[in-house]
């Protein structure tokens, strides 16, 4: 039987959100390394995860995760150079990965042609997870944010990538942004052991009302992330909760 275990944490502010997310990550990492010898983590871009990255790089937290046995991947990436301030890799490297003992991280190459970059990253996942035809990677933990329009990763409402069933990674042109993105697909996100959503701000309230209703027919990208036989954890602040 396929089940999704939903947990909701309401924090006072983004700092408390970061601490709750960090605690969940530490718990998942210890369990994964004890069972399989490695912790597979997929992180997102944007501003939402930055407080979490900064907390994890703090001396009080930097050794709580066994970074030597952690493999870091990217859920999505902007199609820009790694020097660009819009680069998800650049932000994670600057705020976290350069400050902890992390050496096993595998970025999406946003500077390359989007279609090639997506296929290359898909091949990387197939190799790293030793996947056979039709199999999906199973990440131990995926960190996601959500936009006021309900998008998550780089999956936007109405995007053809939302209907993808076979591909692991897609390149997508986002008309409203007039930009291309690389993104993992829903089948990959829904195969993870634990998915942690972070959301803050009053403008997210109407999206959360929809996304947190597991009984409603899924319409928004964020609402369609429902890990099969995994944990779905939403960590939000008071303003997002109360609206």
pLDDT of residue 118: 98
3-class SS of residue 162: helix
Q: Give exposure, 14-47, as e/b (b: 16+ Cβ within 10 Å).
A: bebbbbbbbebbbebbeebbeeeebbbbbbbbbe
Place of tokens 């997929």: 42
pLDDT of residue 188: 98
pLDDT of residue 1: 59
Low-confidence ranges of the chain (pLDDT < 50): none
pLDDT of residue 235: 97
pTM of the model: 0.95
Domains of the chain listed by start with CATH number: 4-242 (3.40.50.1360)
pLDDT of residue 2: 64
Over the stretch 162-213, which tens digit does the pLDDT of each residue have? 999 999 999 999 998 999 999 999 999 999 999 999 999 999 998 898 888 7
pLDDT of residue 87: 97
- Cβ atoms of 106 and 124 within 8 Å: the answer is yes
3-class SS of residue 142: strand
List the beta strands (DSSP E) in the chain: 4-11, 39-43, 70-74, 76-78, 105-106, 141-145, 169-174, 179-184, 194-199, 230-237
pLDDT of residue 197: 97
């Amino acid at each position: 039987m396929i089940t999704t275990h939903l947990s909701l944490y309401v924090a006072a502010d983004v700092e408390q959100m970061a601490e709750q997310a960090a605690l969940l990550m530490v718990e998942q990492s210890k369990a994964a390394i004890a069972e399989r010898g490695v912790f597979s983590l997929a992180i997102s871009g944007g501003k939402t995860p930055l407080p979490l990255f900064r907390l994890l790089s703090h001396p009080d937290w930097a050794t709580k995760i066994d970074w030597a046995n952690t493999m870091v991947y990217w859920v999505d990436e902007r199609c820009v150079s790694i020097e660009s301030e819009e680069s998800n890799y650049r932000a994670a490297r600057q705020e976290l990965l350069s400050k902890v003992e992390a050496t096993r991280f595998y970025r999406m190459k946003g500077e390359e042609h989007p279609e090639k970059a997506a296929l290359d990253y898909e091949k990387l996942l197939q190799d790293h997870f030793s996947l056979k035809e039709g199999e999906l990677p199973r990440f131990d933990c995926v960190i996601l944010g959500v936009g006021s329009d309900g998008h998550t990763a780089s999956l936007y409402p109405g995007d053809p990538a939302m209907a993808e069933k076979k591909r692991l990674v897609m390149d997508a042109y986002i008309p409203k942004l007039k930009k291309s993105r690389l993104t993992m697909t829903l089948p990959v996100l829904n195969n993870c052991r634990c998915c942690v959503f972070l959301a803050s701000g009053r403008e997210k309230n109407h999206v959360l009302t929809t996304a947190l209703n597991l009984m409603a027919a899924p319409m928004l990208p964020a609402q369609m992330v429902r890990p099969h036989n995994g944990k779905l954890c939403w960590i939000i602040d008071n303003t997002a909760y109360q609206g």
